[in-house]
Amino acid sequence: MPILQSNKETGTLYINNVFDMAKDVVVTLDYNANSGATGGILFGVIPHWRVAPDGKSTGQGMGYATVSSADCTTGILDTSVGVALDFGGTFASDIVGISGLSAVDTNAITIRGRASDSYPLLATSGNLSAQNFYLADGQQKRVRFRVADLGDKIFVDMKNINDRVFTNYMEYRLEKAVDLYSRVYVAFNVDATTTIHVQSLNYNAHDVTMLYCLSADEQVGYWTPICAQLSQGDTISAVNVALTPSTSALGTLITIENASSGAPYVGSQYISVVYTLSCACDL
């Protein structure tokens, strides 16, 4: 039973798998946070090419967004969506990201948007005490974060550990779906008086860690990338073709090289797929 505790800092738990976000992704977390806690727990989504959360978010940024009072925070780079159990309410405030509130609601569930949009406030539940539910009261809780409907709808369901069924406390449809192939993580923001005990963390999703869809810049808009499921020991071959009968055959389309970094990752080594497309034809 790990205890995560720090002074206005954030820590993360993440799984190094890539999920197909067109299929439901469910993350279930059991936790216990002391009564009066002012930190929070966040579920975040990052694109598959970010192997782990990269960047910095401290304090009220909840391991996701920028904080105006902390010059060194970049926010977590390239994130798609962040959903927080906002014990102290500050994740919805105007010192985090953009479009925040001037007055905060404690005991709330808050959703913020993409890094590319400066982490805007999308939705907040308001204080859930009106629904007789407290996110941090010293009792063991179970929260279920779910991304559904082809990656554009967020659900947050919660219950006390001894309750028989979940209750839905947040349902929100994004204007733009999360990236099709993404990784997910859980972040914890705690202050000096807050202790969060994590009993279990479970991921239920369609794992496509070895599925890559590659396309060169020159091809985007002309050809649909072909996805390939790769396993250790597999090889890739390419055949040069002419685009039309009147077009001369193209040169080598791709080459396969061993590399210290690149995509896709197979076994204990990387392979890089190198495009060398040069075409004088009118596409």
pLDDT, one tens digit per residue, over 62-113 is: 889 998 876 667 899 999 999 999 998 989 999 999 999 998 889 999 999 9
- Quick one: 172 and 266 in the same domain? no
Task: Give the structural domain span for 265.
Answer: 211-275
- Quick one: 264 and 237 in the same domain? yes
- Quick one: 198 and 237 in the same domain? no
Residue 37 has pLDDT above 50, yes or no: yes
- Quick one: 23 and 75 in the same domain? yes
Residue 241 has pLDDT above 90, yes or no: no
Q: Specify if 106 maps to a domain.
A: yes
- Does residue 264 or residue 128 have the better pLDDT? 128
How sure is the predictor about 238, in pLDDT bands with cuts at 50, 70 and 90?
A: low
Q: Specify if 16 maps to a domain.
A: yes
**Which domain-ending residue is among 204, 230, 264?**
204
**Which domain-ending residue is among 183, 204, 225?**
204
pLDDT at residue 1, rounded to an integer: 31
**Which domain-ending residue is among 204, 232, 259?**
204
Provide the CATH number for the domain around residue 44: 2.60.120.200
- Quick one: 182 and 244 in the same domain? no
The label of the residue with tokens 């992704």 reads 25
Q: Are 14 and 184 in contact (CB under 8 A)?
A: yes
Q: Is 130 left (phi over 0), alpha (psi -120 to 50) or beta?
A: alpha
Residue of 36, 40, 32, 88 lying closest to 62 (CA atoms):
40
Across 32-36, 108-112, 192-196, the highest mean pLDDT is recorded for 108-112
Spatial distance between the Cα atoms of 52 and 60, rounded to a whole number of angstroms = 20
Compute the mean pLDDT over every residue in the chain, rounded to the nearest whole number: 78
Q: Specify if 283 maps to a domain.
A: no
Q: Specify if 91 maps to a domain.
A: yes
Q: Specify if 196 maps to a domain.
A: yes
- Quick one: 243 and 114 in the same domain? no
Q: How many domains does the chain fold into?
A: 2
- Quick one: 8 and 89 in the same domain? yes
- Quick one: 36 and 170 in the same domain? yes
How sure is the predictor about 53, in pLDDT bands with cuts at 50, 70 and 90?
A: confident
pLDDT at residue 191, rounded to an integer: 63
Q: Specify if 280 maps to a domain.
A: no
- Quick one: 192 and 256 in the same domain? no
- Quick one: 116 and 162 in the same domain? yes
pLDDT at residue 150, rounded to an integer: 94
